[in-house]
Amino acid sequence: MTDFCQLSDNSSLIWESNCETRNCKSCFYEYLGRWEGDYSQANERIVWISNTKEVALSFNYEASREIACNGRAVRKSDQGFAIDEKEFIKMFTSRQKRSVDEEQLAAELTATELALKEFYDKIMEEKCRQQIVRHDNPTYHVRQAFQKKALVATWLNEDTAEVFSCAPIDWSSIKFRP
């Protein structure tokens, strides 16, 4: 049997697998990392959120038990990720001091969402400001880019500027014609 794996650069690894004859066991859970966080427990259900508010998982008390690639027992979350079974059991038994209620969890998520929206709005405002300034004075931007003062530029289109090099002329060399 042929197996393959597509890599992040769109290349692929292809290999011959002899699992049918060797009775290979497959695993679906590899160790990803450890995050600290808080959780809310109600009606045999847990919602956990990381301190950074980037990861949130929910578990049923009857979450399916799997074996990770390292051989340890894990419990699968509703989102498809899994945690070590020991940590899962601790959440339902002895970790009440770190418990948060649903209102606090909702408030933290809302605050995070509002902060993210404000950050996004500022980025878009700055992007628009840069676009406006960019179209106002192409000479300024060309001089900044090339770090030379003896340049003049005009826009040919939205993305292309025509650049002219200037040479200093002594005033005594300039004569006016009648």
Integer angstrom CA distances of residue 62 from 33, 71, 88, 93? 23, 20, 11, 14
Name residue, tokens 């709005």.
121
Measured CA angle at 159 (ends 153, 160), to 5 deg: 40
Q: What pLDDT, on a 0 to 100 scale, did the predictor assign at position 93?
A: 77
- Over the chain (178 residues), the average pLDDT of each successive run of 10 is 70 66 63 82 79 83 85 88 88 63 74 82 80 73 87 85 86 78
Q: What pLDDT, on a 0 to 100 scale, did the predictor assign at position 175?
A: 78
Q: What pLDDT, on a 0 to 100 scale, did the predictor assign at position 101?
A: 66
Evaluate if pTM is beyond 0.95: no
Q: What pLDDT, on a 0 to 100 scale, did the predictor assign at position 85?
A: 92
Q: What pLDDT, on a 0 to 100 scale, did the predictor assign at position 157?
A: 83
